[in-house]
Amino acid sequence: MTAPARTPRRLESFVCGQWTPGAREGQALLDAATGDPVAFIDSTGIDFAAALAYGREVAGPRLRAMSFHDRAAMLKALGMALMGMKEEFYAESLHTGATRTDGWVDIEGGIGTMLSFASKGRRELPNTRVLVDGEVEVLSKDGSFAAQHILSPLQGVAVHINAFNFPIWGMLEKIAPTLLAGVPCLVKPASQTAYLTELMVRRIAETGILPDGALQLICGSVGDLLDHVTEQDAVTFTGSAWTGRKLKSHPAVIANSVRFTMEADSLNASILGPDAGPGTPEFDLFVKEVAREMTVKAGQKCTAIRRVIAPRAHVQALVEALRDRLGKTALGLPGEEATRMGPLASLDQRDEVRARIKDLQADAEIVAGNPDDVRVTSGDAAKGAFLNPVLMYCDKPFAATAVHDVEAFGPVSTVMPYDDIEEAVALAKRGKGSLVSSVFTDDPKVAESVVLGVAPFHGRVLIGNRASAKSSTGHGSPLAGLIHGGPGRAGGGEEMGGMRGVKHYMQRTAVQGSPRLLSAVTGRWIEGADAFYDIHPFRKSLAELRIGDQLITAKRTITQEDVEHFAHFTGDTFYAHMDSAAAKANPFFDDRVAHGYLIASFAAGLFVEPNPGPVLANYGVDNLRFLTPVYFGDTLQVRLTCKEINPRANAEHGEVRWDCQVTNQNGAVVAQYDVLTMVAKEWPPVAA
Ligand code: NDP
């Protein structure tokens, strides 16, 4: 199947709430496999300053008025809607040269990333509009002056400039954390494959799920856009190091200290461990992984394996195994079932890759695949941007430069030998900073040496072995929860990484003041803030509960019988609870002490309200610390304070975090922790 030929459409930009064509017909974008025109792209006449202002003024306030949970729910609804339309995107994706597998990485990988952010945002962020960062810093002896770091959304627009190879994933992996942070986006896809991004943005706009202006799109050149960025905007860039450096040094970016995240060329290395010779599962996994990384998306992946580092003794067997495997790669039209690898994104890109192969030949010889003699199983080799997978070999990698410097952005990798593991690590580091590296080994010592050796040069390191073979997500897959980005040559940026990626679009501020006012700012109770006493707080539903509602319990004295009963009942007869002489010999204790868990259990006995009521469940504790030993005869008392309330969207309950402090008769804190409960929104429940 080929992508059906059609009348090329004129792409439009989506700015200031309007779909806007460029003033000129623009540049023709060609189908990667057939060379037929797919679309025309032009952005002449677009008012970029107005687009930025629209995002800041129209969408920003609306996004910031929503809580993290509201935004997470918005992303979930959007992700689900897009998943329901995926076949339309797959059909359009064929024009880019992507096979179904390639399209899956881009389309479902992108939507899946958005859904992951939605679910992580819901689970890992509070239902507030500001985040607290770290603990309260007490700044005065009497507790009247303290500080709390907070994170609040930038009040500008995030400009996302993307590469041609992932027209969907590249957009969604960036807009998901940005929107979750509460910041509007302006996306500029690479021209070559912008028709797929434009189609998805049209469908997103039609859902009406995002506030007006939250997602704008520029199809074509961004003109003077960067002249108008301010200190509240952010710019992210994926593409060539050359363009990245140019944009990063744009006068307005420098003058306004605009956050600039760059993800550029990366000569990712994969190392075969010395233990992983032919016949081992790791050798087979390595061959499979290298071949997969070379052929998925025709090697047009920023994370693809460019440098294959193997023990000299196994190099020949490795080259033979790879030659055999790559030789079976059916090259052809992306929609044909038999096709294993589609064309590159464009003829220009193929010319570019061929030129880079020539550069690499300064150091390396071609050992598999002919870049000039293309054989296809379907389609027309003369019209499409087809290229065979090309494996190269560099025998003296320490004397070479091109193999460590030149990125051939296609199905091209270079094998290079090492003599000991230190050499393997040194070769990986010659990439001068990469997105990802991997090592295939079943030897813990090799795993340790390689990971500790290469980690400072990489954003991600994968260890492949037989135990994770079935479940591993592989060398080349960035994941929503993990950092994507790398130091040095890879651009120095970090994307995703779960909630780390969200915080990138927020400003961290140290707020100083009295506890009462700090608590008002963060919506979180802190030591020294106002406390309220009326009925037992466990009798209050979320509709009635306030931050600062507090309970001071009755007291309870700990006896030797309590400790011995607990020890025999639970089986925890650790000597510090049972043997006075042994406890005294312990540097931390003067005598036998009560179990920490006995203290926590008695604390619960003191603070619970036993009758059926709005508190539905206790789902754990956070940050439990036992701070002072409890001896027989000590008297305990609990102070329980409502610290944070998170009503759950689309549910009849929410989460309440309680500050729980247990003190002894001298006022010393013996235990401190957060108790986590589920509490009904209404009590008694409103009849359905
Ligand atoms: P470019 O750096 O040329 O383009 C990347 C993005 O920047 C595109 O959206 C492009 O838009 C835009 N751009 C280019 N010039 C400007 C400018 N002056 N102002 C604002 N935006 C600009 O990279 P390509 O996508 O053409 O890829 C070239 C090479 O980059 C590849 O061969 C590969 O080596 C590397 N690359 C690396 C990737 C990675 O993640 N490591 C990913 C993709 C590519 P437009 O398309 O309209 O010119």
φ/ψ (deg, to 5) at 97: 95, 5
ipTM over 0.90? The verdict is yes
Ligand 1: residue whose CA is nearest its atom 35: 240
Ligand 1: residue whose CA is nearest its atom 43: 239
Residue 419, exposed/middle/buried by CB under 10 A (0-12, 13-18, 19+)?
Answer: exposed
Ligand 1: residue whose CA is nearest its atom 14: 243
Ligand 1 atom showing the smallest separation from residue 240 Cα: 30
* Residues whose CB is less than 8 angstroms from the CB of residue 335 and which lie 6 or more positions away in sequence, other chains included: 1, 2, 3, 94, 99, 100
Q: How far is CA 277 from CA 311, 313, 427, in A?
A: 8, 8, 19
Could you tell me the pLDDT band of residue 7, with boundaries at 50, 70 and 90? Answer: confident
Q: Strands of 269-272's sheet, edge to edge?
A: 365-368, 390-393, 412-418, 307-311, 269-272, 434-440, 458-464
Ligand 1: residue whose CA is nearest its atom 34: 409
Q: What is the mean pLDDT of residues 64-68?
A: 96
Ligand 1 atom showing the smallest separation from residue 161 Cα: 9
Query: What pLDDT sits at residue 567?
Result: 98
| Whole-angstrom distance, CA of residue 172 vs CA of residue 79 | 9
Query: What pLDDT sits at residue 222?
Result: 93
pTM for the predicted model, two decimal places: 0.91
pLDDT of residue 5 exceeding 90? no
Question: With contact defined as beta carbons under 8 Å apart, do 483 and 473 qualify?
Answer: no
pLDDT of residue 4 exceeding 70? no
Residues enclosing ligand 1, CB less than 6 A?
Answer: 161-165, 188, 190-192, 221-222, 238-240, 243, 247, 263-266, 302, 352, 407, 409
Query: What pLDDT sits at residue 6?
Result: 73
Q: Which of 12, 198, 263, 495 is catalytic?
A: 263
Give me ligand 1 centre to Cα 594, in Å.
Answer: 64
Residue 120, exposed/middle/buried by CB under 10 A (0-12, 13-18, 19+)?
Answer: buried
Q: What is the pLDDT of residues 625-646, one digit of tens each?
A: 999 999 999 999 999 999 999 9
Average pLDDT over all residues of the chain: 95
pLDDT of residue 267 exceeding 70? yes
Residue 263 among the catalytic residues:
yes
Region for 279 from its dihedrals, namely left if φ exceeds 0, alpha if ψ lies in -120 to 50, beta otherwise = left
Q: Which of 302, 394, 642, 660 is catalytic?
A: 302
Q: What is the pLDDT of residues 166-210, one digit of tens each?
A: 999 999 999 999 999 999 999 999 999 999 999 999 999 999 999
pLDDT of residue 324 exceeding 90? yes
Query: What pLDDT sits at residue 168?
Result: 98
3-state SS, residue 550: strand
600: enclosing H helix or E strand: helix 596-607
Residue 16 among the catalytic residues:
no
Give me ligand 1 centre to Cα 163, in Å.
Answer: 5
The half-sphere exposure of 605 on its side-chain side, counting CA atoms within 13 A, is: 11
Of the residues 11, 240, 436, which should be mutated to test ligand 1's pocket, given the most ligand atoms within 8 Å of the CB? Answer: 240
pLDDT of residue 125 exceeding 90? yes
Give me ligand 1 centre to Cα 191, in Å.
Answer: 9
Query: What pLDDT sits at residue 203?
Result: 98
Give me ligand 1 centre to Cα 480, in Å.
Answer: 23
Give me ligand 1 centre to Cα 596, in Å.
Answer: 58
Lowest mean pLDDT among 3-17, 215-229, 430-444: 3-17
| Whole-angstrom distance, CA of residue 353 vs CA of residue 192 | 16
pLDDT of residue 426 exceeding 90? yes
Closest alpha carbon to 309 in 257, 271, 281, 342: 271
Q: What is the mean pLDDT of residues 100-107?
A: 94
Ligand 1 atom showing the smallest separation from residue 491 Cα: 41
Give me ligand 1 centre to Cα 189, in Å.
Answer: 9
Q: What is the pLDDT of residues 387-397, one digit of tens each?
A: 999 999 999 99
Q: What is the pLDDT of residues 540-555, one digit of tens each?
A: 999 999 999 999 999 9
